[in-house]
Each structure stands twice: as structure tokens, then as C-alpha cells.
Amino acid sequence: MRNNELKYWVGFSKVPGIGRVKISQLLEYFTTLEHAWKAPAAELKKAGLDLKTADNFVNLRTRISPDAEMDNMEQYKVKALTCDSSTYPQRLKEIYDYPPVLYVRGTLLPEDECCLAVVGTRRATVYGRQVAEELVTDLARNGITIISGLAKGIDSIAHRAALEAGARTIAVFGCGLDIVYPAENAKLAREILEHGALISEYPLGTRPKADNFPRRNRIMSGLSLGVLVIEAGESSGALITANQAVDQNRDVFAVPGSILSPASRGTNHLIQEGAKLVRNYVDILEELNLAMMAQQLEMKELLPVDKTESLLLKQLSREPSHIDEICRNSGLAAALVSSSLTMMELKGMVKQVGGMNYVLAREMKEEYQAAR
């Protein structure tokens, strides 16, 4: 995208009431956001903005300088990813209310697609701290990127455990990326920048208001394959993230705790309502079809996809196919199909679901998707 157009995406992100839907309406009517930014109120209303939003924008834009916003972003080394860009996280676009602009400090890498949100109480018990450190360390060592919210308690513990395991972690802010909240986590935020990213839907200068954080939570769950709740009381904000994960068709995992502990009442209730009970990290990896993640990453580097595998990928779907059917449809010899499917399973491309039936892996790598 031309830098000249990008600055208007950034400008509109500072206007209350103009989100993804209204941005789409403006683009459909004006073709570019530059034209929309400079349009009179009457044209904005024709484009689909309601009277209040259009008038509010016309008044606000005299006090917003898109050029100054871009200069500020350059100073803080912040990138703006627009929802029409190939660099925008594709999984986030699966949720209904994904933000039109995502602000990023640090780096987002392809392997961050295999990520898990870890959330919980700000007042972690000794039990919660121990469980968070152990689970996150094991998940991180198996190639999982850890996403959390940089809050006190479980969030901070999860970020630190990932960093200490030498893994990637991403913090989602409820304010602009020029403000670290809570301030006591400034050092942690700097460490995350070196081994991951800080992201926010809020433009620079946005203060950490209380109502920003429930909306922030939907991004944490939206980016992730699932949400792990370590410890949560009955009114914990972590339960909001879990509920949003359910709405987004994400897996929810919860760590059981003592029925006498207030810090576990929320997680125990989640399990009662259908969240997956977690005893160890393997429970999570198996549920997400990532149990062989570390081995698959190594195997992928050593053995890229070949022509036989590419042909077999075209024969498979999310529905089980018996090996005999695969042989018939592919025209390949049974011995070749059998050996190739075994190797493809090791590489995380397919999964055997019993009785010599195979399906495409739930989270197949991007290069394997392209080979189909």
C-alpha cells in the first residue's frame, strides 16, 4: 500500500465509531480512504456514515494530522498493518469484529500462527504461578508462540516463562504502543520486543482506559488456536477472553484447582461448562493436533514437500479417506502411498484417524497449503 494511503487508515483509526464495517463502506463509495478523509459531510453520509458519526469525524479531522501520526509511528518503530494487507494476521480476520488496523512493534513471523493465548488472574497463587511456568515452558519448547496481555499475575508469568524457554511471545495492549501498562512491566515489554512483538488496535497516544481491555481480549483469542486459562476467580477478566474464544470457535482450556480456592472458581466453572481440562501440556498439543510440533518443524526443514506428497494432498480433505481410496484416486502404488503418508504425518501434513483413514492436518503449514 502507498504510504500516502496508509496514513489515512491510521487517521481513521483515531476516530471513534469508525471500525471495519464503516471503513469498508467508505472504501466502496470513495475507492480510497484519502478521498474519504477529504470528503464533505454530505458525501460521507451518502457513503453510509450515520449523521452523528459523519459530523463527529468532520469536527475531529481538523485536529488529527495523518502525517504527524506517521512520524510518531516512525519514532516508536511501529508498523500499521491494514486488514486488506497480506501481512495482516489471517486468523484474526476469521473473527467478526477484527480491527481494520493493527499496530505492531517488533516482528510477527509465520511460525506465530501456532500460538496459544494464556490468561488468568492478576493475583496468582503459588499454585497458579507454578502451573503457569511449567505449562508455558513445555509449550514454548514445543514451538508454540505464547500470547498474553502483559498484565500483572498470570500474563506476566506466561511472557517470562516463554522468554526463559528461548521462545517467542506476543503481548496485546489495551492502549497505544507508546504506553506500557502497567508501567512496572516496561522491562518485560522491552524483552518481548527482542523475541516477539507488541501489538494493539489502538493508535499511539491512546490511554489504558478500563473499557479498552475487554475489547483487547478478543484480539488475544482471535489470533490464537485456543485460550488457556490458568487461574481465574468468578469475576476475572480472563473469563471474558474465554467467552470470546467460544464465540470465535476457538478451543478453551482450563486448569482445575481446589474447590476451596477463590482463585480457581472461574476455571473450575469453565471446565463444568465444557472447557477442556488440562493436566499437562500434552493435553493441549494433542487437542490442537500439535503433539509432534517440535519434530515437525525439524522435519519440515530437512524434507520439503515433493511431487508425490503434493499429489496426495490433493486427494485429502478434512473428511477421512481410506488408504485404498487414496491409492485408487491417485493412481499410485500402495507401497508408495503408505510410505509417503507416514512421512507426511511426521511432517505434520496429514493425520491418521484410525483404520488406515487419513485427513488433512488441522493446522497445515503455509508452504504445504500452497502445494495442494
**3-class secondary structure for 211-225?**
CHHHHHHHHHHHHCC
pLDDT at 100: 96
The average pLDDT across 314-324 equals 88
Mean pLDDT of 266-271: 94
pLDDT (average), residues 67-75: 95
**pLDDT above 50 for 96:** yes
**Which amino acid does the sequence have at 174?**
G
Average pLDDT over residues 193-214: 94
**Residues 67 and 18: beta-carbon distance below 8 Å:** no
| 140-155 average pLDDT score | 94
What band does 367 get if pLDDT is binned at 50, 70 and 90?
very low
Count helices and strands in the chain by DSSP H and E runs = 18, 12
pLDDT score of 368 = 45
Nearest to 323, CA basis, from 342, 305, 310 = 342
**How confident is the model at residue 140, as a pLDDT?**
93
Measured distance CA(78)–CA(192) in Å, rounded? 14
pLDDT tens across 100-128, in order?
Answer: 999 999 999 988 989 999 999 999 999 99
Helix (H, G, I), strand (E, B) or coil at 16: coil
pLDDT for 306 equals 79
- What domains lie within the chain, and their CATH numbers? 3-72 (1.10.150), 106-287 (3.40.50.450), 293-370 (1.10.10.10)
Q: How far is CA 258 from CA 106, 119, 231, 233, 368, in A?
A: 39, 18, 11, 12, 44
- With beta carbons less than 8 A apart as the criterion, state whether 156 and 150 touch: yes
Mean pLDDT (whole number) for 197-226? 95
Q: What pLDDT sits at residue 350?
A: 86
Judged by DSSP in three states, 161 sits in helix
pLDDT at 349: 81
C-alpha cell at 345: 504425518
Query: Would you say 250 and 226 are in contact if contact means Cβ atoms under 8 Å apart?
Result: yes
- pTM beyond 0.85: the answer is no
What gap in Å lies between CA 82 and CA 304, rounded to an integer?
A: 31
User: Nine-digit cell at 302?
Assistant: 530437512
225 vs 289 pLDDT, higher one: 225
Of residues 96 and 137, more confidence is placed in 137
Please, where are the H alpha helices in 198-258? 212-223, 238-247
What residue spans of the chain are helical by DSSP H?
Answer: 3-13, 20-30, 33-38, 41-46, 51-60, 66-76, 126-141, 154-164, 186-194, 212-223, 238-247, 265-272, 281-287, 293-302, 307-315, 323-330, 334-346, 366-370
